[in-house]
Amino acid sequence: MDVVRAGRPGPRRVSAAAASTVSLSGVVMAQLAVGLLGALVVTSEYATSMIRTSLTVVPRRGLLLAAKTAVFTALALVAGEIVGFLSFFAGQAILRGQHVPYAELGQPHVARAVVGAGLYLAAVGLLGVAVGVLVRATAGAIAIVTAATFLIPAFTPALPDSLARFVGTYWPSMAGRQLMLVHHDPNLPAPWAGFALLLLSVAVGARGGVRGVQPPGRLRRAGASIQ
């Protein structure tokens, strides 16, 4: 089934890209919620001092973070894919009902964009986990995740041209969004390359966080010194 009923072949590809972008635009807003949930996976334990119990049960810092990350990744990935596919099908149904150009999964790069929406949300959630491990404070994690996923991309166009181009190209959350786009801008990272940049930032943050997590003995000594 063609996306555009009229016969001009040129706009057909553009219409598929535009229709997919409209459907998946809600994912950009959902990323903030997923990122904050990822941060809370870690910071909530510090807020309630349950981290002492966790580190007592699992003294190895890397193993503790790996277990948290694995559970959250599975949940975030499933939820992200559900959100991505529901957004796409609901959006295309609305466009089809309005008799305007719409996209289908069988078109080039459309399926990758829809699946990529779920992958992107999962990666942003992991970014939230990494930030939570680094700062170990809910307020600070919320501020950083909000700035990284929402504020900086929103204000990038207001920056000087050269700086805006650099940030728009290499800022992790903006580079990762390329995976959700049907039409690729040749001046920006390729979809999978941009997503890899996002994952690299997550890995760097998680690595730094693992080094910063204190074992239970040091936590007890720190608590005793405060008292």
**Which pLDDT score, from 0 to 100, does residue 225 have?**
37
pLDDT of residue 59: 61
**Which pLDDT does position 5 carry in this prediction?**
37
pLDDT number for residue 61:
66
pLDDT of residue 151: 92
Q: Is the pTM of this model over 0.85?
A: no
Residues of the chain with pLDDT under 70: 1-16, 48-62, 64, 209-227
Q: For residue range 91-117, what is the model confidence (pLDDT) as tens digits?
A: 888 888 888 778 888 888 889 999 999
Q: Please report the pLDDT score of residue 19 as a whole number.
A: 76
pLDDT tens column, 77-91? 999 999 999 989 988
For every residue of the chain, which 3-state class applies, written as one string?
A: CCCCCCCCHHHHHHHHHHHHHHHHHHHHHHHHHHHHHHHHHHHHHHHCCHHHHHHHHCCCHHHHHHHHHHHHHHHHHHHHHHHHHHHHHHHHHHHHHCCCCCCCCCCCCHHHHHHHHHHHHHHHHHHHHHHHHHHCCHHHHHHHHHHHHHHHHHHHHHCCHHHHHHHHHHCHHHHHHHHHCCCCCCCCCCHHHHHHHHHHHHHHHHHHHHHHCCCHHHHHHHHHHHC
